[in-house]
Amino acid sequence: MNIEIRKEAEALHSYVVNLRKHFHQHPELSLEEWETTKRIEEELMQMEIPFTRAAETGVIGIIGKQGPVIALRADIDALKVEEQNDIVYKSCVPGVMHACGHDAHTAALLGAAKILKAHEAELGCTVKLIFQPGEEISRGAKMILEAGHLDHVEQIFGLHVFADIPVGYVNIEPGPRMAESDYFKISIKGRQGHAGKPQQCVDATVAAASMIINLQQIVSRETNPIDSAVVSIGYVQCGSVRNVIAGSAFMEGTVRTFSREEGRRIKNAVKRVAMGTAAAYHATANVEYNLSAHPAVDNDPDVAEIAFSGATKVFDEKAFIEVPKMMLGEDFSVYQQRIPGAFAFIGAGNEEMGRAYPNHHEKFNIDENAVTNSVMMYLSYVQEYVNRKEQEAKGQGAVKKNSSQDGGLFGRFQKLRKEREAAKRG
Ligand code: NI
């Protein structure tokens, strides 16, 4: 297969940028992406790419009719954010905004689809295009999986634009990339009374204050310092007036980890610390704990290496940077529970253009060269996958993987692959 990826993607630049602006101007909330879905279907229809609905919203397109099946994923939903950008394509829906760049993902996957369709004859495999709804509420990936759209799919590749990574840079690494995010609510019950007679009361405010401090020590004192975890309490409510001791208190927090085991361990610790602290103050605590609908995004070393190797043939060497794993959540991980997958980060920020606000910010915007870079990243992965399959079929055996002697990222792919193989053998 021989797509001139950079040339063909750059030729489509205004097509994908116009689409991105269109989606940006017409954002829709999770699982309500009706117009977005229609527009995607219209584009696919024009490209003569067959498709079905992913769920009530969202689209699955199919290119190619034979061979192994791989999937490319873009999410399509927007956020409850009031846009504060002063741009001509500003959101025309009050209180709703593409503040996470899913407009760019949708446009980029349509661009990649157009190019792949033109090369369908040499594809040698089938590519499923997953335009996923409901990512922001962590439900879309699960729905697609349950509808069977990933049955018989061998691998999946996805990506995300980030405006706090400068445009021009890209990142694909093996291993954990984005966190599992759990959340909890704690209700504390004490005994209300006069502020001048504390001996008759059980002060829920003091119990809550102590609990907040003690919960912070789960990470600092109970978590292996080599591992990363966060416990944050973002909301506290107690008391109503200065001369009444509060009889109840309430707080909400979130926990971020990179493995289910760690998530469960912290869950138990939060319950133990909350109830133990309350008891120390003669109060009681009720903990409602919700484990995330999605685990951590954990890149399969083989898929990540295919995407990385493919990308090295398209992007300049300097484009590749290492990016620390992030404490943000992403339901791409739901697919990775079922099949091997990899997820790339695409730089989209441009300080000079004033487009470097972090994702979810009311002034979030991207340098649109990131959309074309995303198109190239999707295509790099597919082309590398197809070419390796072809080489294997020609009897050249499995393609030699890059050796650890290459150092840097390649070395890490090799190391992680070995570790995981060893772990599988037990
Ligand atoms: Ni996002």
The per-residue pLDDT string of the chain (426 residues; one tens digit each, 9 = 90 and over) reads 999 999 999 999 999 999 999 999 999 999 999 999 999 999 999 999 999 999 999 999 999 999 999 999 999 999 999 999 999 999 999 999 999 999 999 999 999 999 999 999 999 999 999 999 999 999 999 999 999 999 999 999 999 999 999 999 999 999 999 999 899 999 999 999 999 999 999 999 999 999 999 999 999 999 999 889 999 999 999 999 999 999 999 999 999 999 889 999 999 999 999 999 999 999 999 999 998 888 999 999 999 999 999 999 999 999 999 999 999 999 999 999 999 999 999 999 999 999 999 999 999 999 999 999 999 999 999 999 999 999 988 876 666 555 444 456 666 666 766 777 777 776
Quote the ligand 1 centre to 418 CA distance (angstroms): 31
| C-alpha torsion 2→404→301→126, nearest 10 | 20
3-state secondary structure of 159: strand
Quote the ligand 1 centre to 326 CA distance (angstroms): 12
Q: Among 278, 158, 161, which Cα is nearest to 214's?
A: 278
Quote the ligand 1 centre to 184 CA distance (angstroms): 22
- For β-strands 69-75 and 126-132, DSSP reports them as parallel
Quote the ligand 1 centre to 300 CA distance (angstroms): 20
Quote the ligand 1 centre to 421 CA distance (angstroms): 31
58/403 Cα distance (integer angstroms): 40
Cβ atoms 314, 376 nearer than 8 A: yes
What's the whole-model pTM score? 0.85
87/236 Cα distance (integer angstroms): 37
Distances (CA, A) of 112 to 79, 352, 358: 25, 28, 26
Quote the ligand 1 centre to 360 CA distance (angstroms): 8
Residues 6+ positions from 61 with CB-CB distance below 8 Å? 44, 49, 50, 51, 113, 128, 129, 131
3-state secondary structure of 311: helix
Quote the ligand 1 centre to 424 CA distance (angstroms): 32
- Output the pLDDT for position 407: 52
Quote the ligand 1 centre to 345 CA distance (angstroms): 11
**Amino acid present at 409:** L
Residues 6+ positions from 120 with CB-CB distance below 8 Å? 63, 64
- For β-strands 341-349 and 153-166, DSSP reports them as parallel
Quote the ligand 1 centre to 422 CA distance (angstroms): 33
Percent helix / strand / coil, the chain, rounded to 5: 40, 25, 35
Those residues whose beta carbon sits under 5 angstroms from the ion ligand 1 are 100
Quote the ligand 1 centre to 331 CA distance (angstroms): 9
Quote the ligand 1 centre to 108 CA distance (angstroms): 14
- Output the pLDDT for position 292: 85
Quote the ligand 1 centre to 136 CA distance (angstroms): 7
3-state secondary structure of 58: coil
Quote the ligand 1 centre to 20 CA distance (angstroms): 15
Cβ atoms 309, 409 nearer than 8 A: no
